[in-house]
Structure 1
Amino acid sequence: MIRSAILCTTLMLTACAAMAQDWALDGMDPVSYTQDGAAVPGRTDLVTMWRGEAWHFATEQNRNQFEANPKAYAPGLGGLCVVALSEGRSEPGNPRFFAVIGQRTYLLRSEQARERLLADPQGVLMRAKAVWAKLHP
């Protein structure tokens, strides 16, 4: 009896972990970056599917805004770390470290990378976009 309960719990945890892997931005609300200037966790019951991933939202209003124009809220440069790209490397950004420049959200790998981007946003973005263009012709 205990053995089957442990097996059942293990299977449930494995299934939950697999589902979480398909969560865009590790479950952060993409609209909150520009609306609140913060990485806000989305709710598990406010979800929409876009490009094969589950996007989570803190409010119904945020979900509606995203659904009306998802490209406006998806991170620029595929969610890769902008500073790493500017240095010629393709590294995923961390959804907890971000910067909004203009109307676009960019992800970064760390707070140090965020500080580097903010010190020279135009230069870093220009170099990152050049590398991105080579990777995605």
Structure 2
Amino acid sequence: MRHLLLILSLFFSSFSFASQEIYTGLFNSDAVSGYDTVSFFEGKPVKGSSKYQTEYMDADWLFSSQENLDKFKADPTKYAPQYGGHCAWAIAANDGLAPGDPTYWKIVDGKLYLNYDKSVWNKWNKDIPGFIEQGDINWAKRAN
């Protein structure tokens, strides 16, 4: 079922997500599915709280502490996931947009990448440098 959703999201990506730089899902405006994006860099992702919240790039970012909120506000590009939190493999392999799942993540060279699910994450892990290179090219094309 998850693969069908991936295929559908890739198919509709140019229609339904084209203007959405930060993936937030369909029913809320929470970036990274409400996870504290700073916590990934501390090695243990945790859910954020609306008590520690900010808006960045038309999305709501939730944090588990004031300290993490302050870190993000000081340098949001350092902590925001690459490709707006969309699936890194989908951007690279298909130039498509699919949801990034914060339970399938990796930090590479100080940057956070999310993937759609475990099987996609396993594919992405087979050639991370190649997928990042192609993903960066594909994402840059979307900005133009």
Is this a same-fold pair by TM over 0.5? yes
The residue correspondences of 1:1-137 to structure 2 (distance < 5 A) are 21-35=28-42, 37-88=43-94, 89-137=96-144
More helix by share: 1
Higher RCO structure, 1 or 2 (CA under 8 Å, sep 6+): 2
Deviates more, 1:47-56 or 1:71-80: 47-56
SS of equivalent residue, structure 1 residue 56: strand
Q: CA–CA distance in 1 between the matches of 2:76 and 2:83?
A: 14
Whichever residue aligns with residue 31 of structure 2, its letter is A
Q: CA–CA distance in 2 between the matches of 1:118 and 1:77?
A: 17
Contact 1:86 1:128 in 2 (8 A): yes
Contact 1:99 1:114 in 2 (8 A): no
Q: CA–CA distance in 2 between the matches of 1:132 and 1:109?
A: 17
Q: CA–CA distance in 2 between the matches of 1:50 and 1:133?
A: 19
SS of equivalent residue, structure 1 residue 131: helix
Deviates more, 1:57-66 or 1:45-54: 45-54
Contact 1:32 1:62 in 2 (8 A): yes
Q: CA–CA distance in 2 between the matches of 1:90 and 1:23?
A: 17
Quote how far apart the aligned CAs of 1:70 are. 0.8
Where in structure 1 are there 5+ consecutive unaligned residues? Answer: 1-19
Quote how far apart the aligned CAs of 1:85 are. 1.3
Aligned length: 117
Compute the RMSD of aligned alpha carbons.
1.6
Where in structure 2 are there 5+ consecutive unaligned residues? Answer: 1-26
